[in-house]
Amino acid sequence: MNEHRWPEPETRIHRALAQAGVASRRAAEVLVADGRITINDTVATTGQLVGPGDLIRVDGRIVSPEPLQVFVLNKPAGVVSTARDPEGRQTVLDLLPRDVRLYPVGRLDIDTTGVLLITNDGELANRLMHPRGKVPKIYEALVDGRVSAETVRDLRRGVELEDGMSLPARVEIMERLHPGGTWLRIEITEGRNRIVKRMCLAVGHRVQRLRRIRFAGIEVGGMRTGEFRAITQDELRQLRKIGGLDGLTSAPGLDVDVDAPVRRPKTPRPPRAI
């Protein structure tokens, strides 16, 4: 039965329930308030701490804790970054271990490559995706044509898009290709759908290739596309800080596989049946 006992670290009951995938943190608070949760057979109270070895039940059913997992994937092109695809295309989750429920932290377009975080910590994922968090993201974009200094200034200030102006961005020209094409480095803090492509198109340049080289300070380093690794403790601390979770009592993540070697997916799976 040990696998059902709460592992380290100590955490608040509603966070423990959210981490175990029982409910969102808010919904878990309601379960606690409704007296449906017990810790070691005693009805739990709001904000109660759960420590190593405790046994949690919901309506009498034992809750099995999942160790926290956060991976960084160097997303290849041709793979969708949703958890499921109604068209049965390969998803990023097909590239990772299947033994826990995982969520991609935000989306990259099917043809975009680069840093994508994937975790079973729904709360961390939500914090990192929330527009209020203004999480920094850096992209390298190869666009059509010769981008002028004036266009770079426009992109930096913000350009008009159908769903409102883009926020101020850091934009640099990395390389001008001959006969045409320009590599841009674009740092933004928003995550609207197809934002980089739409920003570039708004100033007359179509994106031919797009890769994300950094998300919330996390980089793929030497990994090839399709490879993934567990993030390090330092990276986890950094993510929790950026997500505004560092001041909380709990610090899930001690189970993260520190400095785990890069892993390569086995042979690609066939698309899932619809």
* Residues noted as catalytic: 109
Nearer to ligand URA among residue 70 and residue 196 (C-beta): 196
Q: Shortest gap between Cβ of 159 and ligand URA (angstroms)?
A: 13
CB 196, min distance to ligand URA, A? 3
**Tokens at residue 142, please?**
């190869």
| Strand residue runs (E) in 34-165 | 37-39, 42-43, 49-50, 56-58, 61-62, 70-75, 103-104, 113-119, 137-143
- Residues that bind ligand URA (rule: CB under 6 A) add up to a total of 8
Minimum Å distance from CB 108 to ligand URA? Answer: 4
Site for ligand URA contains 195 (CB under 6 A): yes
Distance CA 87, CA 260 (A): 33
Binding of ligand URA at residue 210 (CB under 6 A)? yes
Buried b (16+ CB within 10 A) or exposed e, 162-175: eeeebeebebeeee
Cα separation of 51 and 21, whole Å? 18
Stretch that binds ligand URA, among 20-28, 170-178, 194-202, 259-267 (CB under 6 A): 194-202
Give yes or no for residue 196 binding ligand URA (CB under 6 A): yes
Compute φ and ψ for 214, nearest 5 degrees: -155, 140
Q: Quick check: 108 binds ligand URA (CB under 6 A)? A: yes
Nearer to ligand URA, 96 or 138 (CB): 138
Closest approach of Cβ 73 to ligand URA, in Å? Answer: 14
Which of 66, 94, 109, 190: binder of ligand URA (CB under 6 A)?
Answer: 109
- Nearer to ligand URA by Cβ, of 39 and 80: the residue is 80
In which residue are the tokens 């390090």 written?
232
Residue 21, classified by CB atoms within 10 Å of its CB into exposed (0-12), middle (13-18) or buried (19+), is middle
Whether 159 contacts 166, CB under 8 Å: yes
Q: Say which amino acid occupies 124.
A: L
CB of residue 15 vs ligand URA: minimum separation in angstroms? 30
Q: Which is nearer to ligand URA, 50 or 199 (CB)?
A: 199
Binding site for ligand URA (CB under 6 A): 108-109, 112, 194-197, 210
